[in-house]
Structure 1
Amino acid sequence: MMHVESTETTAKKHADDNNRNETGFGRKVTRGGFNETTKTVDWLPAAIGVIVLLAFLFRLPTLSGRSVWMDEAYSYWFSSLSWWDLWTKTPLYETHPPFYYSLLKIWTMMAGTSEAGMRSLSAVASLMTVAITGYAPRLSGFGKRYDRIGIVASLLLALNQGSIEYAQQARAYALQTLFCTLMILMSVILLQRMLLEKRDKPEIHGARGLYIASGIFAGATLWLHNTSPFIIFGNWLGIFAAISLFSAYKRHDLMLAAKGLLVALLVWSPCIPILLIESRTVAASFWVTISPKMITWPYTLAAGGKFAFVPAIVVAALGWLQLYKTRKPFALYAAAILFIPVLSIFIVSYLFTPIFVVRTFEWMAPVFLFLVAFGLFLPGKMEKIRLAVLAVLVILCVGQDVAYFRSNTQDLRGAVHYLASNYQPGDLVLVYPNELEVGLNYYTRALPTPLEIATVPAKYPAVAMARPYLGSNKGAPAAIESDRGEIARMLSQHRKVWFVGDWSGPDAKLNVVNSELYRERGEPVSSVDFAGTRITLFAEK
């Protein structure tokens, strides 16, 4: 007997098959008169696993081999303080919130305070960000056909030089990127349910959990760095704009979004007094200089470095244009999150206080790379050159990574090794500015024989002294004329003095410490630079 199907029935079956493939439940196949169900293979977990492994391998080199630099030494210093001092005293002279140092304090109780032990917190956060980036389209409910975009974005993030660099630093940037990525993911899921899913009533499934989660992750982002309010501003400005323009239930959805922002502010509220104290420190004096050309630097960082910048920007722009054609609310949101924080910080830095530090924009990388991945899957000509363009981006990223692995960074370990190898009993290690002692301390703590170290004008942190301070560090006072007598006294008691600090020679403009050293000891015997840490030996005349 001939079996006949109508066109309508066939179309319905094809639609059912597609729906099953989209949701991962499998499809029905008829063989020999029997109905069998074969499940489609979900390759996403395996693909993400391979990419996370690749990311791990790229974050291993120099994780412990590279010396800590001054900022990491500060991380060790602050995380070693008592809880009381960390939360009540450090805001008086430190320009970063104590939240990261608190997390590091807990982490190092388990992982130790070696270079790898301290940095492993950032490395784990970076690997989690890579995994979340890969799963983001699936978690957002966009369907399995968007999995490939998540895969490519996570691959590019795994090889991203900035992501690798800050995964290898005991600083807050990798954690900030993780929490910021989670905040953006929760925001996108909420927007997707508001704007793309068919709604016959204002209520949204899981809305409370989503706005609470987005608020908590935003609050954690705010706790990690004092420039994070600009990120939150861009995020919620994008959310409010998308809802105002595209939601069928504007009032209801705006209230939901506002609740998420309120949660973020409540989580952050205990930090606001600390921010006000630290903002006065930054406003008084900060080391950053600002230039118009710097406006592109955050996007260079997000692209994975200078090598990949141009092709990544082009593909990301094409991806955004396609996103604007197909999903306007998300194109608007992406533009807000990628441009508003950068422009806001740049304007504040240009007109008021220079706070534009490129590494504080590492959080942008996952969102930017999503646009790059989206651009790679454009219909038309891109289909023919997709793999070639991706290969070029991967090669350029790897080249940037190799350049980073070979680059020199501040070598505090080498400086202390040099001192320990040449220091003799009766010598003096003279440190100026006093904050350099924080850097030396990380490595001198392990020496079998302690070095005699003196700081000018006082040990770090020297707070509230009646004198100028060096930059924004209110624990590092400047040496003044009245310190000459004490410097001369210290020099008179030691045959050799190892000076740790800047030495440009007698022809340069000398500070009080340099000029007193030159007056008492004359020309130095030797001077060695350890990629930013200079050690100069002065002997008796």
Structure 2
Amino acid sequence: MTARSQTKTLIAGALLVAAIGAVLRLWHIASTPMWLDEAYSAYAAGKGFAFLWQVVPRYETHPPFYYSLLRLWTLAFGDGLVAERALGLAAGLATPFAIAWIAAAAGAWLDWDVPRRRALVFVAFALACLAIPLVEMAREVRPYPVMILVFALTTRALIAIARQREAGRPLAGPAFAVYLVGLESMLWLHNLGPLWAAALGLACLIAFQAHRASWTDWGWFVGGHAAVAILYLPALAMLIDQAPTWVRSTWLSFGAQGLADHLPVLYAVPGWQGLAAAVLLVLAIMILVRQARAQRLLTMLLILAILPTMLSILLSITIAPVFITRTLTPVAVPWLVLLAIGAAGQRGKAAWLGAGAALMLAANMLAVDVQMRGSPPIQNWYGALRWLQPRHRPDDLILAYPNEGALPLERALQDKALAWRVMPVPVAVPALDQGGWHPTGSRGVVSLPKARLEAIARSPRIAAPRRIWLLRLGNTTYDPGDMFLTALRRDRRMTARFVDGPIDIIALDRK
């Protein structure tokens, strides 16, 4: 194949996978309701900046930085369902290009010839377009798609730092500035930001090549990281304040089965097709262990791909469960670059092995993506409204216990232009200083004692309507023994019930 024909083939292939990736990210994006976590984001973004920076830190474990970004986004583009998802979608659509940029920089650093570099960029781009966690996170009104993009751009900056240090140039410059901004952003985007900072900092130390550093370079290195640490102190104070509540009453659990279920998805290798990824990883290692600069690249990518997950597992074992697949999705970025190196870097018969493994992996990811797009939403609030509409009357009252259940319900009501009365119990999020305990680790959501629930059930506002609806999310956690339901049934009888996953809605009519 001539160079011109190879270029045309790769461009055509890139356009095809880009279109497929865009379709997968857009599929049902306007018809899938927000689930609880997304509703939290939309709720916070609907408030003013004073609420975001003064109230959110009192109950939310995450820093308010992402909510502020979403607030600015909605002020510019509106607060409709598609508008709010568009921030993550924009980041998700940009991420494959950022990963291709990383692959291009890696190929140039390794002094590969032009055909291999082009193949590397194409494979990295194609895998990024189809990667299961990248497709899924691009659809969420959560910080994860932004984190993935920031992590990718920071990884690209690290390769630039490594190349300029190898060439004997000073550390100070645009690449180091981009790295520091990315490092600070990762710290402020999520409460597990220190895990990402640890991986990025260690990778930066390898790129820095301390043995070749001057005192001026050391000053920039230490001073830059010190500035990042100082700017992070307010978020660290929020994390320290919230951590005890999370540790005492987290809803998460951690075990070997969870790792077995989630790690393959996190690293884009579900099912038996993980063999293809293993082949690509072995091929990549065989390529990168041959020279010093390639060994540095291999070490940096492995640290970025594995260390955050290892630290998350360690924290889950020793302190409190924090391991959640979606919080670790940025590790897919360096991992996909490694797999692309394995696919494009070999010659001869091994090249056919790498191409076949990459094709097998891409086909499997596409099949899983399509299957997931056809699956029901995480929480089907639109389905709940369809069931409720013919049964709901204008004077009905919906009680949301715990109070956070009102967030996705009210969001779905807004999307469907329905003005129904909803009463969060005991009060709207955040239910600060309301007594009770916090079974999910959030001070904004409480489980109330029996006497308090009985008093609420007898209150005039709840006693007046002829029919009330009790919405429960996680009733075994927040209402063990059905205490609130029992209190409401003292003067009422159950007449209808809707259960779909965690959504439990009960109609209670006056006797």
Name the TM tier (shorter chain): 0.7 to 0.9
Q: Secondary structure at 1:363's aligned position in 2?
A: helix
Moved over 6 A (4+): 40-47
Q: What are the within-5 Å matches in structure 2 for residues 1-400 of structure 1? A: 51-139=17-105, 141-142=108-109, 144=114, 145-195=116-166, 197=167, 199=168, 203-204=169-170, 207-241=172-206, 247-249=211-213, 256-295=220-259, 297-303=262-268, 305-306=270-271, 308-326=273-291, 327-377=294-344, 378-400=346-368
Residue 496 of structure 1 aligns with an amino acid whose one-letter code is: R
**Structure-2 change in CA distance of 1:322 and 1:306 (3 Å):** same
Q: Which moved more, 1:417-426 or 1:292-301?
A: 292-301
Larger radius of gyration: 1
- When the two structures are superposed, what TM-score results if normalisation uses the length of structure 2? 0.88
Aligned length: 495
Q: CA–CA distance in 2 between the matches of 1:401 and 1:41? A: 28
Percent identity reads 22
Question: What residue is the counterpart of 1:419 in the other structure?
Answer: 388
Q: Which moved more, 1:374-383 or 1:212-221?
A: 374-383
Question: Is the 1:214–1:260 Cα contact (8 Å) retained in structure 2?
Answer: no
Question: Is the 2:104–2:117 Cα contact (8 Å) retained in structure 1?
Answer: yes
Residue 510 of structure 1 aligns with an amino acid whose one-letter code is: G
Question: Is the 1:160–1:304 Cα contact (8 Å) retained in structure 2?
Answer: no
Residue 352 of structure 1 aligns with an amino acid whose one-letter code is: I
Q: Which moved more, 1:487-496 or 1:66-75?
A: 487-496
Question: Is the 1:427–1:497 Cα contact (8 Å) retained in structure 2?
Answer: yes
Question: Is the 1:100–1:224 Cα contact (8 Å) retained in structure 2?
Answer: yes
Question: What residue is the counterpart of 1:486 in the other structure?
Answer: 456
Q: Secondary structure at 2:205's aligned position in 1?
A: helix
Q: CA–CA distance in 2 between the matches of 1:289 and 1:311? A: 31
Q: Which of 442, 452, 467 is equivalent to 1:496?
A: 467
**Structure-2 change in CA distance of 1:228 and 1:150 (3 Å):** farther
Q: CA–CA distance in 2 between the matches of 1:267 and 1:50? A: 43
Could you list the per-position Cα deviations for residues 96-115 of structure 1 after superposition, in whole angstroms to 9, with x for gaps in the alignment? 11111111111122332222
Residue ranges of structure 2 left out of the alignment (5+ in a row): none
Q: CA–CA distance in 1 between the matches of 2:131 and 2:184? A: 26
Question: What residue is the counterpart of 1:11 in the other structure?
Answer: none
Considering Cα pairs closer than 8 Å and 6+ residues apart, tell me whether 1 or 2 has the greater RCO: 2
Question: What residue is the counterpart of 2:410 in the other structure?
Answer: 441
**Structure-2 change in CA distance of 1:261 and 1:502 (3 Å):** closer
Q: Which of 473, 477, 484 is equivalent to 2:442?
A: 473
- When the two structures are superposed, what TM-score results if normalisation uses the length of structure 1? 0.83
Question: What residue is the counterpart of 1:537 in the other structure?
Answer: 507
Residue 390 of structure 1 aligns with an amino acid whose one-letter code is: A
2:396 paired with 1:431: no
Could you list the per-position Cα deviations for residues 205-261 of structure 1 after superposition, in whole angstroms to 9, with x for gaps in the alignment? x7422211100111111111111211110222233246568x544876655544443
**Structure-2 change in CA distance of 1:248 and 1:295 (3 Å):** farther
Question: Is the 2:252–2:322 Cα contact (8 Å) retained in structure 1?
Answer: yes
Q: Secondary structure at 1:535's aligned position in 2?
A: strand
Give the deviation of 1:463 after TM superposition: 0.3
Q: CA–CA distance in 2 between the matches of 1:390 and 1:462? A: 50
Could you list the per-position Cα deviations for residues 421-443 of structure 1 after superposition, in whole angstroms to 9, with x for gaps in the alignment? 32113322121101111111113
RMSD over aligned Cα atoms: 2.9
